[in-house]
Amino acid sequence: MKRTGTMTYQTNGSSALAAQRAEFTVIEGNRRAAANRQVVQEHLSVAQMLKTGFVIVAVLAALAITSVLSDRLETAHFNRIISEAGTSTITVHSGDSLWDIAEDHAPEGAQIELVVRWIRQANGLENATIVSGQTLIVPN
């Protein structure tokens, strides 16, 4: 469908405020041509479906393997950083959070989220709740 329209406004004197006639024309395409078109549906052969399924499974497997390997490499890198850093013991002060402590004591290149997890594991914390006066083992 093709639409065309023209609006004309005069801009001199008081006639600019007067309503003007607007023209708008709608032209529809040839219905006979559209009715004569045939829709052709193509069906995949069994071999094509199997190939498509194989490609989908292969891509999903590659993504899963990449994700697992990435996580393992990241964990190995983090463990190496932590083992080189050593540990120390700190006392929690009022207003401290586990995240803040992890940011303050994170070794160079370590992700804060992994440092929080490490501190929780090293101190046997079930969650991120800490209290003033509590002692924690943290990375140096």
Residues 117-126 have pLDDT tens digits of 999 999 999 9
Q: Is residue 5 part of a domain?
A: no
Give me the pLDDT at residue 1, please: 45
* pTM, two decimal places: 0.51
Q: Is residue 100 part of a domain?
A: yes
Domain range for 130: 41-139
Give me the pLDDT at residue 70, please: 92
Tokens of 95: 């207003």
Q: Is residue 92 part of a domain?
A: yes
**Quick one: how many helices (H) and strands (E) in the chain?**
4, 4
Q: How many CA atoms lie within 13 A of 55 on its CB side?
A: 6
In order of 6, 45, 118, the CA distances from 11 in angstroms are: 16, 67, 75
Domains of the chain: total: 1
Q: Is residue 11 part of a domain?
A: no
Residues 16-63 have pLDDT tens digits of 566 666 666 555 555 555 555 666 677 889 999 999 999 999 999 999
Q: Is residue 2 part of a domain?
A: no
The CATH number linked to 114 is 3.10.350.10
